Structure 1
Amino acid sequence: MYTVIGYPRTRAMRVIWMLEELGEPYELIPAMPQSNEVRALNPSGKVPVLKDGAFAITDSVAICQYLADKHGKLTFPAGTPQRARQDGITQFVVDEIEGALWTAAKNTFIHPEEMRVPEIKRVCRMEFDKAMQLLKEKLGGNSYVMGENLTVPDILIGHAVGWARVAKFDVPDTGPLAAYFERLLSRPAFLRAMARGEEAVA
Structure 2
Amino acid sequence: MYRVIGTAKSRAFRVLWMLQELDEPYDHIAANPRSEGVVPFNPAGKVPVLIDDGTPITDSTAILTYLADRHGQLTHPAGTLDRARQDSLTQFLLDEFDAALWLAARHSFILPEEMRLSAIKNTLRWEFETSQKTLVHRMSDGPFLMGERMTVPDIILTHCLDWALSARFPVVEARLSDYLDRMRQRPAYRAVAAS
What TM-score do you get using the length of structure 1 for normalisation?
0.94
1:29 equivalenced with 2:29 (yes/no): yes
Q: Which has the higher helix share?
A: 1
Return the offset for 1:129. 0.1
Return the offset for 1:140. 3.9
* Alignment partner, residue 175 of structure 1: 174
Unaligned runs of 5+ in 2: none
Return the offset for 1:36. 1.5
1:69 equivalenced with 2:76 (yes/no): no
Paired amino acid for 2:176:
L
Name the count of aligned residue pairs. Answer: 195
Task: Supply the distance in 2 between the matched residues of 1:195 and 1:125 (Cα, whole angstroms).
Answer: 28
* Alignment partner, residue 186 of structure 1: 185
Q: How does 1:4-19 map to 2 (within 5 A)?
A: 4-19=4-19
Return the offset for 1:142. 2.4
CA distances 1:133-153 after superposition (whole Å, capped 9, x unpaired): 111111142211111111000
Paired amino acid for 1:93:
L
Return the offset for 1:82. 0.6
Paired amino acid for 1:112:
P
Task: Supply the distance in 1 between the matched residues of 2:38 and 2:126 (Cα, whole angstroms).
Answer: 34
* Aligned sequence identity (%): 50
3-state SS of paired residue (2:170): coil
Task: Supply the distance in 2 between the matched residues of 1:55 and 1:70 (Cα, whole angstroms).
Answer: 15
Structure showing greater relative contact order (alpha-carbon pairs closer than 8 Å, 6 or more residues apart): 1
Paired amino acid for 1:80:
T
Task: Supply the distance in 2 between the matched residues of 1:141 and 1:150 (Cα, whole angstroms).
Answer: 13
* Alignment partner, residue 96 of structure 2: 96
Unaligned runs of 5+ in 1: 197-202
* Alignment partner, residue 158 of structure 2: 158
Return the offset for 1:66. 0.3
* Alignment partner, residue 51 of structure 1: 51
* Alignment partner, residue 195 of structure 1: 194
